[in-house]
A and B are shown apart, each in its own frame.
Chain A
Amino acid sequence: MKNTTLKQNRNSALLTSILSILLGIIVGAILMLLAGYNPLVAYQALLGSAILQPFDLGETIRTTSPLIFIGLAVALAFRTGLFNIGVEGQYIVGSLTAYLVAAKVSLPTGIHALVAVVAGGLAGAAWAALPGLLKAFRGVHEVIISIMMNFIALYFSNVLVRTWLAVGKDSTDKIPPTASLRIGSLSQLFAGARIHMGIILALLAVFVFYYLLWKTKLGYQLRAVGYNRHAAEYAGISVRRNIVLSFLLSGFLAGLAGATELLGTSEYIAIQDAFIGIGFDGIAVALLGANAPVGVVLSALLFGVLTYGGGNMQFVAGVPFEIIRVVFAAIIFFVAAKISFRWGNRKKGKAYA
């Protein structure tokens, strides 16, 4: 009898995720059939080109690491009952700040990278502070403010690149190697793939996320506020303070995503005419991963495989990459529709009512 309900909850979340993934893949397959492609060949190409070769595996992991950070960022806010849709902006600000520290400050190898990463995280937190403060003290809906903050971040970054960091060009120079997160031996291990220290930092963040939320006083407060702010208030927990803290931490994680991507993958900043959409992917990762640390890692990995492998599938099987975005969307659709609800949860839930 021990732990049954807890397990039921976990099982139903897991069941939802697995069913949603399967259904999403089936929806993709139906689309391919309708468009005259062979889904078996396509998925085989996708999977084969994502993980079989060391190079591809390295690139898949590289694609996965910012998704882990962003997924954690969204999940942390969700756990406190907040919807941080501003991760995209916090990501941009994080990467911009990391670039500034990398390009404009000189420090010894390693330390330089570390300082740039932390600076990126702090910048993300600072960018998230405004929606957090407005939500806590003025009751302004965080979604509205965060979306606007995304636009400000995007165009602010573009202005800085065009007028200061790379006058007359579309992109900046590369960062100095002292600030890079790439490690030669790691790249060699994966046949020269752009895999970098970001994945190590991301996995570290997963552990910190778990420890923070379930083992510390702060985590207890954040979860209490998230589940029931009236009860938290009743117990003397400051709801406002925890809303702001949650946004700061979430923004910090999003900033880390931007910083590690810049310092490890791209190594320069380019003018962007639109969002890269990592914010939405992060929301998808958090939803599919049920806001749980291990869940976020697994769903980030799935999205990493689909994104990287999907790109190759285009070449190998001739199936357009857009199909993979449809698979993404379908998976999230099914997660949001709580597809396992009828099969597992409903009757058991009622027994206690």
Chain B
Amino acid sequence: MNVVEMRGITKRFGSFTANEDIHLVVKKGEIHALLGENGAGKSTLMNILFGLYQPDEGEIYIHEKKVQISGPTMANELGIGMVHQHFMLVQPFTVTENIILGVEEKSSGFVQYEKARNKVQKLSEQYGLKIDADAVIEDISVGMQQRVEILKTLYRGAEILIFDEPTAVLTPQEIDELIVIMRNLIREGKTIIFISHKLKEIMAACNRVTVIRRGKIAKTVEVSETDEKKLAALMVGREVSFEMEKKEQKKGSIALEVKDLLVKGFHGKMAVDHLSLDIHKGEIVGLAGVDGNGQSELIEAITGLKKIEQGSIFLNEVDITKFKTRKIIETGVGHIPEDRHKRGLILDFTVSENMILSTYYKTPFATTWGINYTEVEKYTDRLISEFDVRTPSIDTPIRALSGGNQQKAIIAREVDRDPDLLIAAQPTRGLDVGAIEFIHRRIMEQRDKGKAVLLVSLELNEILKLSDRVAIIYEGKIQGWVDPKIVSEEELGLLMTGSKQAGGDAI
């Protein structure tokens, strides 16, 4: 039986067509992947199914009945639930309180908390979610919070669950657990639509996959009849090389040396706890770790954005421990920040204004008082063509660009200064295969030019693919060093959760 059928869906925003004549059929009891680059139209399509947008053309059938979904409330009534990428949870509330929020059962004005709690606990057991109904959200892990989101849709009676990029925030072990949970859901008769651009997960978890390219359906295929390479080609529209040609490393002297560093995090706890680290010229050091183990604080300390309590940092034998951010940048540090919207860009500035963010006061851009915008434009023109930043014009506010193009703009700005140390934090988060390939090549080029690179990423295969050495950070300390050529993802995962010390293969 076709649980969801979307026929000839077209959605336009002004002159821009986000979805064009899309046909999507999801069968009962399957995990159906929706694969596509960022901006390909996956989210638009799912927002139409969830009632947030109305299609300009086309029809939707749920359980083979034609429907017109006027809004999320109606979508819920039809049994459609969405697990959002960004969780919609009230942090100081308990699991149960979050789940019943908006659908509280009341008796003479009082919330039937105990009854709801039992129902939550029962649902959790039924689907193997292992959730404590009384736990407070801010005390539980990100993976658990995601399960609360799943439970929320189940509590509301969802039969069709849409997962929007669910694995972006999870560790490898949590991803495995999620896949198990999804299988449980299917066994209990649910249907899942799984939005992703991660090929490996789709291959591991899904039954069928529909690839969307530039707003149109490229193809729907059985997962068992395809492979990662074919899917990537469908998604991007050309052959994609997964293998990166890694040149022979020309390792030089030490470029970055971090000694016995202490940095405070929130609540006064040490986020970076007596950490030492070194990176040589011509080397990419990958820093692997579960989110929130001191990676961000380490980067902010190196770049002068966070106070250093103790310890020292040297860049090419210059002590930069006490330098301010500008001086550190001038000493030769480039920084691709983990959150491009918070740190990396001024979204209301134009593309060209963003290109001079840390160099606006220098020649050739600066005159005595003013800024020479002719030079800025010339510079921007060169960067956007060299780094393939696709923008309507250099005067467009950078907010209007896609995530991939925004990221390319940041990378252009940081790499073009040719820094001795490039810090790349989550450089490809949320980007599609084509952009990832491009960015990886640029990072590799810096290494081949004899620069030092610190790569911080939650994507293990990114770390393993690019790094010459991998350091594992756990609770603010380096838990161990491993050789990416011989370590397995499973072993890395164990090191990252602190349950194993680096053993014989440490380097």
What residues on B are CB-neighbors of A231 within 8 Å? Answer: 342-346, 357
Of the candidates A4, A217, A218, which one forms a contact with B392 in the assembled complex, judged by CB atoms under 8 Å apart?
A4
Residues of chain A within 8 A of B326, CB atoms compared: 236-237
- CB–CB B371/A5 < 8 A: no
CB of B446 within 8 A of chain A? no
Segment of A164-172, A176-184, A246-254, A344-352 in the binding face: A344-352
In the complex, which residues 387-422 of chain B have their Cβ closer than 8 Å to any Cβ of chain A?
392-393, 395-397, 399-402
- Interface pair A230/B342, CB less than 8 Å apart: yes
Q: Do B337 and A234 touch across chains, with their CB atoms under 8 A apart?
A: yes
- Is B369's CB under 8 angstroms from A348's CB? no
Chain B hits for A207, CB < 8 A: none
- CB under 8 Å from chain B, chain A span 1-50: 1-6, 9
Known: A2-B393, A5-B400, A216-B371. A234 touches B349 (CB 8 A): no
User: What is the total of A-B residue contacts with beta carbons within 8 Å?
Assistant: 97
- Chain B 324-358, CB-CB to A under 8 Å as 1, else 0, gives 11111100000101000011111111100100011
Q: Does A215 touch B at the CB level, under 8 Å?
A: yes
Q: Does A319 contact B (CB under 8 A)?
A: no
Task: Establish whether residues A236 and B324, one from each chain, have CB atoms under 8 Å apart when the complex forms.
Answer: yes
Q: Quote the shortest CB–CB distance from B102 to chain A (angstroms).
A: 25
Dominant secondary structure of chain A at its interface with chain B: helix
Which one of A61-69, A123-131, A137-145, A220-228 is at the interface? A220-228
Known: A215-B371, A227-B346, A347-B13. A220 touches B353 (CB 8 A): yes
Q: Which residue of B lies closest to A237 (CB)?
A: B326
Q: Are B399 and A352 in contact (CB under 8 A)?
A: yes
B242 at the interface (CB under 8 A from A): no
16 contacts between A and B (CB under 8 A): A3-B392, A215-B370, A220-B353, A221-B360, A223-B349, A228-B345, A228-B347, A230-B342, A231-B345, A231-B357, A232-B346, A236-B329, A237-B326, A348-B14, A352-B399, A352-B401
Give complex CA distance A139, B361 in Å. 27
**Does residue B16 face the partner (Cβ distance < 8 Å to A)?**
yes
In the complex, besides A216-B370, A234-B325, A236-B328, 20 extra interface pairs with C-beta distance below 8 angstroms are A2-B392, A2-B393, A3-B392, A3-B393, A4-B396, A5-B392, A6-B397, A215-B371, A224-B346, A227-B348, A233-B325, A233-B343, A234-B303, A234-B357, A235-B325, A236-B327, A236-B358, A351-B14, A351-B16, A352-B399
Most B-side CB within 10 Å, residue of A220, A227, A232, A347? A220
The answer to whether A217 and B396 touch across the interface, beta carbons within 8 angstroms, is no
Determine whether the beta carbon of B397 is less than 8 Å from that of A5.
yes
Instruction: Tell me the complex Cα distance, A237–B357, Å.
Output: 9
Q: How far is the CA of A274 from the CA of B395 in the complex (A)?
A: 47
Partner of B396, one of A5, A230, A232: A5
Binding site for B on A (CB under 8 A): 1-6, 9, 215-218, 220-221, 223-224, 227-228, 230-237, 347-348, 350-352
Contact B13 A217 (CB under 8 A): no
Q: Contact: A2 with B395, CB < 8 Å?
A: yes
Give Cα A107 to B349, complex, Å: 47
Nearest-Cβ distance from residue A235 to partner chain B, whole angstroms: 4
Interface residues of B (CB under 8 A from A): 13-14, 16, 18, 303-305, 324-329, 335, 337, 342-350, 353, 357-358, 360-361, 366, 369-371, 373, 392-393, 395-397, 399-402
Contacts of B361 in A (CB 8 A): 217
CA distance A233 to B16 in the complex (A): 36
Contact B346 A3 (CB under 8 A): no
Question: B328 CB to closest chain A CB, in angstroms?
Answer: 8
Cross-chain contact A3 with B396 (CB below 8 angstroms): yes
CB distance from A5 to the nearest CB of B (A): 5
Q: Is the CB of A224 within 8 A of B14?
A: no
Which B residues lie within 8 Å of A351 (CB)? 13-14, 16, 18
Q: Is A224 a contact partner of B357 (Cβ separation < 8 A)?
A: yes
B392, closest chain A residue (CB): A1
Bound Cα distance from A165 to B93, whole angstroms: 62
Residue of A nearest to B13 (CB): A351
Q: Report whether A216 and B14 are in contact in the complex, using a CB–CB cutoff of 8 Å.
A: no
Q: How far is the CB of A75 from chain B (nearest CB, A)?
A: 15
User: Are B366 and A217 in contact, CB atoms less than 8 angstroms apart?
Assistant: yes
A291 to chain B, nearest CB (A): 12
Note all chain A residues with C-beta closer than 8 A to B393: 1-3
CA distance in complex: A305, B183 (Å):
71
Are A217 and B360 interface neighbours, CB within 8 A? yes
Partner of B343, one of A9, A216, A227, A230: A230
A223 to chain B: closest residue by CB: B349
Tell which of B303, B324, B357, B369 touches A217, judged by Cβ atoms closer than 8 Å: B369
- Considering the chains assembled together, what is the distance between the CA atoms of A5 and B348 in angstroms? 11
Contacts of B18 in A (CB 8 A): 351
* C-alpha spacing A347/B373, complex, angstroms: 32
**Residues in chain A near residue B402, CB distance under 8 A:** 352
Instruction: Tell whether, in the assembled complex, residue A227 and residue B349 are in contact, meaning their CB atoms are under 8 Å apart.
Output: yes
Residue of A nearest to B343 (CB): A234
A350 CA to B13 CA, complexed, in Å: 7
A217 CB contacts on chain B under 8 angstroms = 360-361, 366, 369-371
Residues of B contacting A2 in the complex (Cβ-Cβ under 8 angstroms): 392-393, 395
Which of A2, A215, A223, A235 has the most chain B CB within a 10 Å cutoff? A235
Partner of B369, one of A6, A216, A235: A216
Query: Shortest distance in angstroms between A6's beta carbon and chain B's nearest beta carbon?
Result: 6
State in angstroms the CA–CA spacing of A6 and B391 once bound together.
13
Q: Which of chain A's residues have a CB closer than 8 A to the CB of B325?
A: 233-236
B residues near A4, Cβ cutoff 8 Å? 392, 396
Tell me the minimal C-beta distance from A29 to chain B in angstroms.
35
In the complex, what's the smallest C-beta–C-beta distance from A319 to chain B, in angstroms? Answer: 42
| CB-based contact B369/A234 at 8 Å | no
The residue in chain A whose Cβ has the minimal distance to the Cβ of B360 is A220
Task: Tell me whether A347 and B349 are in contact (CB under 8 A).
Answer: no
Instruction: Write out the residue numbers on chain B whose beta carbons fall within 8 Å of the beta carbon of A218.
Output: 369
Most buried by B among A221, A227, A232, A234: A234
How distant is the Cα of A169 from the Cα of B346 in the complex, in angstroms?
55
5 interchain residue pairs of minimum CB distance: A236-B326, A351-B13, A235-B358, A236-B325, A235-B357
Which residue in chain B gives the minimum CB-CB distance to A6?
Answer: B395
- Select one of A216, A228, A348, A352 contacting B346, CB under 8 A: A228
Report whether A220 and B371 are in contact in the complex, using a CB–CB cutoff of 8 Å.
Answer: yes
The residue on B at minimum CB distance from A236 is B326
Nearest residue, chain A, Cβ from B358:
A235
Kindly identify which residue among A3, A216, A224, A234 contacts B305, using a CB–CB cutoff of 8 Å: A234
Q: In the bound complex, how far is the Cα of B325 from the Cα of A232, in angstroms? A: 10
